[in-house]
Amino acid sequence: MLPSFEDKINIAIIGASGAIGSAFVEAFTAYEKADKIYTFSRSNIDNKHSKIISHTINIENESSIALAAECVQEKLDIIVVATGFLHDGETLQPEKSLREIDENKMIKSYMVNTIGPALIGKHFIPLLQRDRKSVFAAISARVSSISDNQLGGWYSYRCAKSALNMFIKTASIEAARKFKQAAIIGLHPGTVDSKLSEPFKKNVAEGSLFSPAFSVDELIKVIDIIKAEQTGQLFAWDGQEIPY
Ligand SMILES: NC(=O)c1ccc[n+]([C@@H]2O[C@H](COP(=O)([O-])OP(=O)(O)OC[C@H]3O[C@@H](n4cnc5c(N)ncnc54)[C@H](OP(=O)(O)O)[C@@H]3O)[C@@H](O)[C@H]2O)c1
């Protein structure tokens, strides 16, 4: 497992309480190579294994992100940002038309989908290994692709995830100067059964809704095969590059 990484690796998962985040924690815990697994979430989650070190984080608050990064004692081989926001189950819903664009909805989406991950990059990318392969992977979405946008709608989410892609690309250029073997990438997990996708599940073609465990197994394969030369790009669960 993870043949492209050294024997013992340290991992951080931000958004460990979510469907995809918790599947990453579970999958990495089962890997012998994983030495320390730092998990960060808004709510406390149970330490299911001695290699898991849990800490709270609110990605809408930079001090909270800085404090979380300070508790990491080792250099990190893999950082996964699995936080995200699409709807609140109540009033904040993705827009179907221009008239549904709302300042608060847009601010919330940018806070969680762009600004939070950028601040995580600020505090966590410096913790990557410098002398061997390392990966910073933020979960973006296929709908962030400007060239692939056929359907319209979901203004806040699309815009905020596109801005996340620009952060990834820009950070990858800066990181390449110091972290020559690092890949800073975005990942599209497919359509995955989670709280975030719940209201839209009925529109998904039969057999196309992934379990979090399946999606994460595929995403870990992508993290494993990715090379530093591919830094700054967005990849789908099957390893295909998604053009911005
Ligand atoms: N599910 C899909 O079909 C799909 C498709 C494409 C992309 N994605 C992306 O995949 C990622 C994971 O989504 P998911 O499907 O696993 O959804 P999820 O189960 O709803 O997980 C979202 C996670 O984000 C965390 N979060 C939100 N705001 C936060 C904040 N201010 N501070 C700290 N944590 C915060 C949530 O924490 P709490 O538990 O505390 O709320 C939760 O852990 C997201 O970036 C999403 O956009 C998902």
Is ligand 1 within 6 A of the CB of residue 145?
no
Q: Which long-range contacts (CB under 8 A, 24 or more apart) does 192-197 make?
A: 192/19, 192/20, 193/19, 194/18, 194/19, 194/20, 195/18, 195/19, 195/89, 196/18, 196/19, 196/84, 196/85, 196/86, 196/87, 197/86
Average pLDDT, the chain: 96
Whole-number pLDDT of residue 2: 87
**What gap in Å lies between CA 58 and CA 144, rounded to an integer?**
23
Whole-number pLDDT of residue 234: 98
pLDDT of 114 > 80? The answer is: yes
pLDDT of 47 > 80? The answer is: no
**What gap in Å lies between CA 138 and CA 155, rounded to an integer?**
20
Is ligand 1 within 6 A of the CB of residue 85?
yes
**What gap in Å lies between CA 102 and CA 165, rounded to an integer?**
22
Return the closest-CA partner of residue 113 out of 79, 154, 150: 154
pLDDT digits (tens, 9 = 90+) for 81-95: 999 999 999 999 999
pLDDT band at 117 (very low <50, low <70, confident <90, very high): very high
Place of tokens 């992100």: 65
**What gap in Å lies between CA 3 and CA 117, rounded to an integer?**
27
In sequence order, which residues have a C-beta less than 8 Å from that of residue 56 and are 6 or more positions away?
Answer: 40, 41, 42, 43, 44, 64, 68
Q: Where are the domains of the chain?
A: 9-236
Whole-number pLDDT of residue 18: 96
Is ligand 1 within 6 A of the CB of residue 58?
yes
pLDDT band at 72 (very low <50, low <70, confident <90, very high): very high
**What gap in Å lies between CA 215 and CA 237, rounded to an integer?**
7
Whole-number pLDDT of residue 45: 72
pLDDT of 43 > 90? The answer is: no
CATH top-level class of 9-236: alpha beta
pLDDT band at 11 (very low <50, low <70, confident <90, very high): very high
pLDDT digits (tens, 9 = 90+) for 225-237: 999 999 999 999 9
pLDDT digits (tens, 9 = 90+) for 185-224: 999 999 999 999 999 988 898 889 999 999 999 999 999 9
- What percentage of the chain reaches a pLDDT higher than 70? 100
Is ligand 1 within 6 A of the CB of residue 186?
no
Whole-number pLDDT of residue 109: 98
| Ligand 1 atom closest to residue 59's alpha carbon, by position in its atom list | 32
Question: Which residue has the CA at smallest separation from atom 45 of ligand 1?
Answer: 84
Whole-number pLDDT of residue 206: 87
Is ligand 1 within 6 A of the CB of residue 74?
no
CA distances to 24, 106, 223 from 183, in Å = 18, 29, 9
Is ligand 1 within 6 A of the CB of residue 139?
yes
**What gap in Å lies between CA 67 and CA 56, rounded to an integer?**
9
- Helix, strand, or coil here: 148? coil
| Ligand 1 atom closest to residue 193's alpha carbon, by position in its atom list | 1
Is ligand 1 within 6 A of the CB of residue 194?
yes
